[in-house]
Structure 1
Amino acid sequence: MSGTSLDGVDAALVCSDGESYVECGPALTLEYGSGLRERLRSLLGTRREDWSDAVTEAARDCTMVHVRAVAALLLKAAMKANQVGVIGFHGQTLSHCPEQGWSWQIGDGKLLAIQTGIDVIDDFRSSDLTAGGQGAPLAPLYHGALAAKMEKPLAVLNLGGVANVTWIGPVSDSAADSGIGPGENEILAFDTGPGNALMDDWAGRAMGRPYD
């Protein structure tokens, strides 16, 4: 994935049942070149209806960095593509407005699948926004799986470019109006406001560096 910092692509091998088991494998970061980073920065705030040739080119170049990140990760893990079940492809966020029910990430999931030979799941945000969420469904589920054996309630604060928090409640005794079934934990997650993005911007302007 690539976040709002625009520093590059983070890739990790994770084995999980999506509920209570998580095994973390190798991970790496493949930096965007300065040219691509600046092109993406110039497109921030662009809406889907403003699609242009510049967006098309940036989407392809961004996807190809992800392709190289997958190849590097497989090499680091001494694994082959057919040993990986699926790639979760976040894409690069250009604009995000959950209070209005929309968000836009660029990236070509089909191209990523063709180039890597691995099935790809992308466009995570749309269904979450349609369901009334804030368009970031993966982190809360990951936090929930990591915290499966921890005492509840607890909260996890994620300081990315935009900060967000996941609150995980105790196990429910009975089905609730919210749809939480017996034996399930209530999970509540939302953005809390700007995070490292502000520090990155300050570092760029005051220190001539891409991050603090």
Structure 2
Amino acid sequence: AIFSTVAPCSYVRGHLRSMVNFSSFFGQRSRKNKNERLLNEIEKHICLKTTSANKQQFNLDYLPYLSRNLISTLKQNTQEIAIEQCISLLDDYYLNRDDLQTIMELNTWGKTGKNLYDQLDTQTKSALTRNYNKTNHRTPYAIVDIKKLKKSKGLMDEDEEEEDEQEEEEQKDDIPIEEDAMIKLAKKPIGKVPLKKSRKK
């Protein structure tokens, strides 16, 4: 009784200034794990260009620089030149198209922080994706989906599994009704062609 109740209570005695929000804590913990996973992925992609920086230095020094330069390139120049320069900068650091969105997401601080990538117009983002997919990009690493790899090896924790399930549900919601295999659209009835009456001879 002393070791299980009395001793722990004596060490943690005191009072809390606000209500304990367990659900909020677990949500922030899941977000923290996701951001750490994304940061590790980008750091591995760019490590040949930043050999002297550890993960903390990379997060504090390199990510803000990349975020500012990528966005300013896309905003200040004409669309064709901006996209060409943005892709060139990504290739210089061995980054792929998904890393661009990840960098912007990791540089969004707090609830009031604004994702600079979301402020770009849809035409620019679509043109960037099309042009990036058209060209070949040499990378010193194999492009592997980490989520699928972890699922196949059973290395994902409960928070990551719940997070991936939510993302899959959101992606399913974005599928147009016409392309959803689970929904059959009712076909419009075809009107019957009236038969011609034969004339009596």
* Fold similarity call, TM over 0.5: no
Report the TM-score, using the length of structure 2 for normalisation.
0.27
Report the TM-score, using the length of structure 1 for normalisation.
0.26
Quick check: which one's helix share is greater?
Answer: 2
Quick check: which one's strand share is greater?
Answer: 1
